[in-house]
Amino acid sequence: MSNLDDREFDEQDEVQYEDYEDEDESWDEEESWDEQEDVETSEEAEVSEAVASLTQDIEPLHLEIQMEEQGPCQRHILVKVSEEDIKRHFDREIRELMPTAQVPGFRPGRAPRKLVERRFRKEVADRIKTELILKAITQVTEEKDLTPIGEPELDIEAVVLPEEGPLVFEYDLEVRPEFPLPQWKGLVIEKPVREFGREDVDRLLEQLVAEKAPVVPYEGPAKLGDYLTCDITVEADGEQIASHKEQMFRIRRVLTFPDAQIEGIDQLFVGVRPGDRRQTEVLVSTQAPALRWRGKKVTVHFEVREVKRVELPELSQEFLTRLGFSSEGELRDYLLDRLQRQLEYRQRESAREQIAQLLTQAADWQLPEKMLHRQSQRELERMVLELQRSGFTEEQIRTLANRLRQRSLEITAQRLREHFILERIAEEEKIEATEEDYQREITLIAMERGETARRVRARLEKAGLMDVLRNQVIENKVIQRILEHAQFKEVPYTPPGEEAYGLEVALTGQAEQEPAPSASAQAAAEAGPSGQAAPSASSPSDST
């Protein structure tokens, strides 16, 4: 082609290019409007989807409910969730998944819906199955006006989400029993009273000095108040069922274990020397951890390894400083305050026992044994917290805890009936626990244990005991409200004596395998043991 021809083509291209530039300007302007419309449309779609999703979450499920009453506190519930609800939730999950779904051969969010459904069906089905079950249980609780006192017993893994038809599942639920609230105003209550004098403080001072004093080996015959180190073996039906080496305890009138109590232990051991042997029979508690020996008699053999005697120190300034007091007067003031708090505890417990007896006279509804077993540990934790804030020693607490364990189901049943009634009164009177209530209780516990309030609170929270503390606070406030409307009859109060000593070891051995509780029951009981470190069973412990 000639240069002239090239020049002609170049000129034509320039003209065409100018035309294209004009068209591009017009196209760019139109495209910007289209993009803006697309953005607005996209935003509107997102808002619409969000509103639709929110509406779905708020919209109640279409349920068929069959409820069977299996006792005052037991409900067996069968639920059918409609196929419409299943499809609605499945559709929502897929729509939310579409923009990010990764399917081989497609960029994220570009795969066709049918492929996304096929690839993620199981994952989505599992998710909406769990969601529907939880929403349905909540809806049933609200519609049937139930007050659960435990987690639903349900194996979610065993529930199948069908391809067609309704989702069907059933579960058991423990609920608060329904009952008419008894008359709680104007009750007549006996109130233990006492004016503490110097002799009361002297007695407690002697106990405190003995608790802090060293114990030294003694070669002579043992007397009341001495410590013994013994090897203990337990026999029943001609076989040895348990053995506990080098258990140290103090000679008192009673020796307690979590599963048994030996009366007259002083008569058995006063006068013994190292190497002596003694034996006695004892009836095992019906709530013993070793199922085989519950309610049976066993023979307990003691071999005395060592006798120790308390070496009482002088109440010197050095000893006072070691106890954390600057003077004997300050120590006596502390002991008088401890006596007063123990009296207040006895007044509260006595009032509580009388109130419980009066309020639960008509509460003859039976409580499921499974519930009693689960709640017995919570009752023990409640009692331990109450004793700690009331000035009792760890040794006293351990013995009282042993006695509670031996009658745990009976006591727990009474406490639960009382709790349900007090809870109803709290709701009617709008009584709640405040942060100030928590702090006051924690401070009292910290003061008795010689710890900071922050440390005590952290331990309670870690052990899951703040709920126990909350119930304790509310129940105490309800008791106080009842007492404000009560009539009182004063009776004399006798401070507890030194009559018992508690060991932590179960006499008949560790717990045997019981039927495994459901996962939900285990979760409800996860608050677990109190987390309060009791002294070693092999260390000296004197108790009331």
| Burial of 387: CB neighbours in 10 Å, binned 0-12, 13-18, 19+ | buried
**What distance in Å separates the CA atoms of residue 269 and residue 263, rounded to the nearest whole number?**
12
Angle at CA 142, nearest 5°, toward 137 and 143? 95
Provide CATH 1.10.3120 ranges for the chain: 188-208+327-497
The CATH superfamily label for domain 63-174 reads Trigger factor ribosome-binding domain (3.30.70.1050)
Pick the CATH number of 188-208+327-497 from 1.10.3120, 1.20.120, 1.10.1060, 1.10.3470: 1.10.3120
**What distance in Å separates the CA atoms of residue 282 and residue 254, rounded to the nearest whole number?**
12
CA nearest to 405, candidates 280, 261, 518: 261
HSE-up of residue 158 (Cα within 13 Å, Cβ side):
6
Q: How far, in whole angstroms, is CA 450 from its chain's centroid?
A: 24
Provide CATH 3.10.50.30 ranges for the chain: 214-311+503-527+538-544
Highest mean pLDDT (candidates 3-12, 18-27, 112-121, 508-517): 112-121
CA nearest to 234, candidates 508, 511, 512: 508
**What distance in Å separates the CA atoms of residue 280 and residue 257, rounded to the nearest whole number?**
14
Strand 188-193, strand 487-492: pairing:
parallel
Under DSSP, is residue 283 helix (H, G, I), strand (E, B) or coil? strand
**Among all chains, which residue has been given the structure tokens 């591009």?**
24
Listed range (21-35, 169-183, 386-400, 417-431) with the worst mean pLDDT: 21-35
pLDDT, tens digit, for every residue of 85-139?
Answer: 999 999 998 888 888 888 888 888 788 888 888 888 888 889 999 999 999 999 9
Task: Give the pLDDT confidence score for residue 354 in this predicted structure.
Answer: 92
Neighbouring-strand partners of residue 375: none
Q: Which residues of 257-286 are buried (b: 16+ CB within 10 A; e: fewer)?
A: bbbbbbeebbebbeebeeebeeebebebbe
Provide CATH 3.30.70.1050 ranges for the chain: 63-174
pLDDT, tens digit, for every residue of 18-34?
Answer: 443 343 333 343 433 34
Task: Give the pLDDT confidence score for residue 72 in this predicted structure.
Answer: 79
**What distance in Å separates the CA atoms of residue 185 and residue 187, rounded to the nearest whole number?**
6
- Quick check: 438 pLDDT over 70? yes
Question: What is the full DSSP assignment across 141-158?
Answer: HHHTT--BSS--B--GGG
The CB density around residue 417, as the number of other CB atoms within 10 Å, is: 19
**Which CATH number is 214-311+503-527+538-544 given?**
3.10.50.30
